[in-house]
Structures are given as C-alpha cells and as structure tokens.
A = this chain, B = another copy of it.
Amino acid sequence: MTSISTEPRTCSVARTLEIVGEKWALLAVREVFLGNRRFDEMVRKTGAPRDTMTARLKTLVAEGVLERRPVSEHPPRFEYRLTEAGLDLYPVIVSLMQWGDRHLTNGEAPPMVLTHRCGHPLGAVTTCSSCGEPIHARDVRPTPHRDSLEGN
C-alpha cells in the first residue's frame, strides 16, 4: 500500500511524445498537412531516410494519427491521410513553426508563410478556452500539487 513511487511523471506531454516526439514523425505529419500524402513525396520533402520514414509511418498509422489507404489497385499505390486525431495535431505543428519563425530566422523572412482564410498571414496565438486570453506560462499553475512554478 505504501506506494513510495516517486516519478517518472506520468503526463500527457510524455505520452504524446511517445508517438510524435521525434523529428521525422512530426515532419511526416507536416507534409500530410501540406497535402503531400505519398511515401516518396514525404521522403523527398522531409529528407528522411526511407527506412526511417517507413518505420515512422507505421507507428503513426498504428497509433491512429494517419490512415494508409490504397488510391490505386493496379499500380498498387497508397496515400496517408490524417485521421481526426491527426488533424488535432495542427496546433502542435503551427506552434513549432511559429517558434521557428520567431527565433530561428535571423532577420530573414520565414521560409514559408501560411495564409488564413481571413486573408492574413497566419500568426498563431494560444488562448484559454475559458476566458479567451492569450496563455502565458506565468498565469498557469498545476492543480493542487507540491510542484510550484513561481518565477520562470
């Protein structure tokens, strides 16, 4: 009964990273968001080794992020599509892109600009679903818990 089990923390971040916490996995997902759903295209546009891409796609499919479906019987051809869960990864991709645009383009224009249907270049703001305010780390606390996050 005396469960002294300290740590590793079980947390949704860790769980999510077990699935998409690797460069090629996320880049594959990025490509599908950009409309490139075919194996060879993903390999070319991401630069991933074919073997690695095969492995990543396999787990993404197994975990329900992508769906592999045949698009042609006779030349046997397949495409990978985002499932509902996969589509929900969009904020992850967008926030990674946002961060790179802000901190990794030294002065230069970002390598790709996304345009929102409102007509403006996409800037992403993560907001609180309850109050609508932009979220800052300092305004958030873990639930009744020993771990504090005072300061930064």
Contact = CB atoms under 8 A, between A and B. Distances in A.
B96 A13 contact: yes
Q: Classify the interface of chain A: helix, strand, loop or mixed.
A: mixed
Given A26-B21, A46-B8, A118 B110 contact: no
A140 B116 contact: yes
Interface residues of A, number: 90
B127 A143 contact: no
A19 to B, nearest CB: 8
A20 B13 CA distance: 13
- Of the listed residues A85, A90, A110, A126, the one surrounded by the most CB atoms of chain B closer than 10 A to its CB is A126
B22 A23 contact: yes
A149 interface: yes
Nearest to A131: B118
